[in-house]
Amino acid sequence: MKIRLVFCSLLTLIIIAGTIISCNSNKEKKGSIPDKDWPVYGGNKAGNRYSDLDQVNLSNVKDLEVAWIYQSNDADTSSGSKNKRAREIQCQPIVVNGILYGTNATTKLFAVEAATGKQLWKFDPFKDTIPRYNQNRGVMYWEDGNDKRIIYSAGPTLFAVNAITGQPVTSFGVNGKVDLHEGLSINFDASKLSITATTPGIIYKNTLVMGSSLPEGGDAAPGYVRGFDVVSGKLKWVFHTIPLPGEPGYDTWPKDLYKKLGATNNWSGLVLDEKRGAVYFGTGSPASDFYGAIRAGKNLFSDCVMSLDAETGKMNWYFQTIHHDLWDRDIPSPPNLITVKHDGKMIDAVVQATKDGLVYVLDRDKGTSLFPIEERPVPTKGLPGEQPWPTQQYPVKPLPFDNQQFSDSDITNISPASHDYIKKIFDSTSHTNKFDPPSLMGTVLSGYSGGAEWGGNAIDPDAVLYQNANHSPWILKMMSREDQLKEIAKSKDGQGLYMANCASCHGADRKGNGKEIPSLLQLDNRLQKEAIEHILLTGQGRMPSFQNTPELHRNAIINFLLNIKPPANKVASEHADDLTVAPKNKNFPYQPAYVPAMWDKLRDQDDYPGIKPPWGTLNAIDLNTGDYLWRVPLGEYPELTKKGIPITGTESYGGPLVTAGGLVFIAATRDERIRAFDKKTGKVVWEYQLPAGGFATPITYMINGKQYLAIAVGGARGLKAGGMYMAFALPEKDR
């Protein structure tokens, strides 16, 4: 009996053990697919926007469904109410250890469970100060043992926040903050100049390398690239993008120009080769846009693709894409690191797309082009005093993905009325060459807000580049500052201040330029005085904060916009030429002799682009050969499609994501859809109508055996507000 009981007990234990083993085995089997984060802006430090996940693929992408929605905004910032303007979200979030980190429309930082969208915490960078809102396109993650941090910028400040608790890391800088003005005051006090950072930096070991976003007029701060200690926040090094005496490139400017000019900044982001310890990035144009008489020369290191040693800031090499920029052709997106097969050899390359629709494929160690580039003569008859550079670069391969010139045959053909409307503008402007210098007559700018944008591109391991492109010419017409001051002198009350501060963007007629820069006509029917004052204080989208402009001036502008006659003792037009926020000295700020009088998208009477469709495309380019694989329209105006007009594409703001599942995902279009394309053919294989525009770049990640696709659905850009993040996944049956 005893033996029998022992045998039964032993059998029971074996059965229990077998059950445990079986459960563990099933658990192991179910969880055999490892989790996969999206830990860095761009997916990895090379900026590829590529994922090797393939659970979602060509065969099942049609079944994608909404997995969760997170309402990221505070209730009053995305409502579009009378007192609040809708703000878009351009952030590409990151995912680390199953937690998604992103920012909302008012640059609050948040953490949510990446599998559910449940909020874990939210951090307000302006809790104790007046907000200075700016676009934030992403955040950085760093850890050392239990020290886990999110580092990001809001306004003129770099913050370090505990990634687990959402509390400031007080040992970083001063109580968790570093002033982004640090290291910029070379010849004048830069502490009161406008600065922020729209795009995150990159971290190499314990060095955080940062660019900056600046105004583009004569009061622009220096656009130096800097390295900070990620632990302490202390400044480690500064690279002067406008060189100081004795530094390389100093002789490409007139003597002591660094004392007078700013900008030449990296605003579009950086990538990192950890093996080489090198960062790669692009720079923008010098101040001021469109007139450069004071800065005769090539102007290094403006408009350059560059490589620096990440630990020291020492330059490895540079490659200039535009000499003496007069067209604001900044490098608009981060470069991309990939290995290509060229002339039978595998070569590590840096790939850079540009505003004017060019693709440079450069040797990563030398900065030399793998494909031929021709230096060709260009027009040199500029405004008085201007000295345009006599040649510019033309890559032979790959061919441009945007129009390089606007000719009579390019005028829109969507209707006879539209064609005639644009033809009248065409006949009254200069349009012979994309390098026509700005003029008083007016110039059609091709490759200005076309080509690549800040959303970047994606590259798969086969070295195929997926690039969305805008095809949208602009009109630029200049006026002398002398004439501008005469107009200001004739103006009454706040009109003069408006002319000096606001007219270069919103226009002297206050009509704006369409969707991105809104009309200010009949503003009293849309916004109350308090709301306008709030926007001037905090900034809005591309518009910087005017906190440092005297309150008297701000009030005068508001009264002008609202047609309010101010009391006699409050008239401010006599101060219209006293506009700088910087300390006055003999060198700074620079006052250009010519300024924009008109700076506007070339649009027809119905606000469609003045060029023949397509107006937006998605392109696939084999970087091994430099050849195009396919090109398709991206986006749709449904009202035009209903009229029988072939799909035109739309402008797109946001970038693509490519996956091992054979898919290219992108939203970014004005029709507020997110799409998946077959990466081999360019055929649309899935699309979803978002509740608002997804003007951001999507990400993908894996948690508990489920692949997610997530994107910020911020809306705005002249359309309805969004304010949310959305994630998609396959139903259980498809996994």
* 464-474 residue pLDDT tens: 999 999 998 99
pLDDT at residue 395, as a whole number: 95
Q: In this model, does residue 584 exceed pLDDT 60?
A: no
What is the average pLDDT value for the chain, to the nearest integer? 88
Minimum mean pLDDT among 284-288, 423-427, 484-488: which range?
484-488
The closest of 236, 161, 288, 211 to 588, measured between CA atoms, is 288
Q: Which of 111 and 405 is assigned the larger pLDDT? A: 111
Q: What is the CATH number of the domain that holds 570?
A: 1.10.760.10
Q: Which of 37 and 521 is assigned the larger pLDDT? A: 37
* Pairing of β 50-51 and β 657-659: parallel
pLDDT at residue 303, as a whole number: 98
Residue 106: inside a domain: no
Residue 54: inside a domain: yes
Please tell me the chain's helix, strand, coil percentages from 3-state DSSP, rounded to the nearest 5.
Answer: 15, 30, 55
Do residues 635 and 682 share a domain?
yes
Do residues 618 and 562 share a domain?
no
The closest of 408, 399, 401 to 612, measured between CA atoms, is 408
The closest of 396, 354, 357 to 373, measured between CA atoms, is 396
DSSP conformation class of 399: P
Mean pLDDT of 714-731: 91
DSSP assignment of 412-429, as one string? --S-HHHHHHHHHHHHTS
pLDDT tens-digit map of 263-322: 999 999 999 999 999 999 999 999 889 999 999 999 999 999 999 999 999 999 999 999
Last residue of a domain, one of 555, 571, 601: 601
Do residues 648 and 731 share a domain?
yes
Phi/psi at 483 (5° precision): -70, -35
> What are the C-alpha distances in Å from 718 to residues 165, 456, 477, 655?
36, 22, 24, 19
Count structural domains, the chain.
2
Do residues 579 and 538 share a domain?
yes
pLDDT at residue 490, as a whole number: 67
Do residues 643 and 593 share a domain?
no
Residue 74: inside a domain: yes
As given in the structure block, the two tokens for residue 687 are 């699309």
Spatial separation of the C-alpha atoms in residues 393 and 323, rounded to whole Å: 9
The answer to whether residues 640 and 648 touch, using CB atoms and an 8 Å cutoff, is yes
- Residue 86 banded pLDDT, cuts 50, 70, 90: low
DSSP assignment of 506-564, as one string? H-TTS-TTSSSS---TTGGGT--HHHHHHHHHH-BTTBPP-TTS-HHHHHHHHHHHTTP
Q: In this model, does residue 730 exceed pLDDT 90?
A: yes
Last residue of a domain, one of 567, 601, 635: 601
Do residues 619 and 735 share a domain?
yes
pLDDT at residue 307, as a whole number: 98
Spatial separation of the C-alpha atoms in residues 565 and 663, rounded to whole Å: 58
Please state, for a pLDDT cut of 90, what percent of the chain lies above it. Answer: 70
Residue 266: inside a domain: no
Instruction: Find the domain containing 541 and state its range.
Output: 478-601
Residue 718: inside a domain: yes
Last residue of a domain, one of 601, 635, 656: 601
The closest of 352, 458, 652, 453 to 43, measured between CA atoms, is 458
Mean pLDDT of 163-184: 97
pTM of the model: 0.89
The dihedral region occupied by 499, where left means phi > 0, alpha psi between -120 and 50, and beta the remainder, is alpha
Residue 414: inside a domain: no
Spatial separation of the C-alpha atoms in residues 130 and 176, rounded to whole Å: 18
pLDDT tens-digit map of 353-388: 999 999 999 999 999 999 999 999 999 999 999 999
- Residue 103 banded pLDDT, cuts 50, 70, 90: very high
Mean pLDDT of 321-350: 97
Spatial separation of the C-alpha atoms in residues 168 and 497, rounded to whole Å: 39
Q: Which of 287 and 711 is assigned the larger pLDDT? A: 711
Do residues 592 and 705 share a domain?
no
Mean pLDDT of 614-622: 98
Do residues 653 and 718 share a domain?
yes
Q: Terminus-to-terminus CA distance in the chain, angstroms? A: 52
Spatial separation of the C-alpha atoms in residues 44 and 46, rounded to whole Å: 5
Highest-confidence range of 537-551, 568-582, 669-683, 708-722, by mean pLDDT?
Answer: 669-683
Residue 671: inside a domain: yes
Do residues 575 and 620 share a domain?
no
Q: What is the CATH number of the domain that holds 727?
A: 2.40.10.480
pLDDT at residue 504, as a whole number: 65
Do residues 642 and 699 share a domain?
yes
pLDDT at residue 85, as a whole number: 56
Q: In this model, does residue 29 exceed pLDDT 60?
A: no
Residue 706: inside a domain: yes
Do residues 643 and 596 share a domain?
no
Do residues 638 and 703 share a domain?
yes
pLDDT at residue 13, as a whole number: 36
- Residue 567 banded pLDDT, cuts 50, 70, 90: low
Spatial separation of the C-alpha atoms in residues 49 and 54, rounded to whole Å: 14
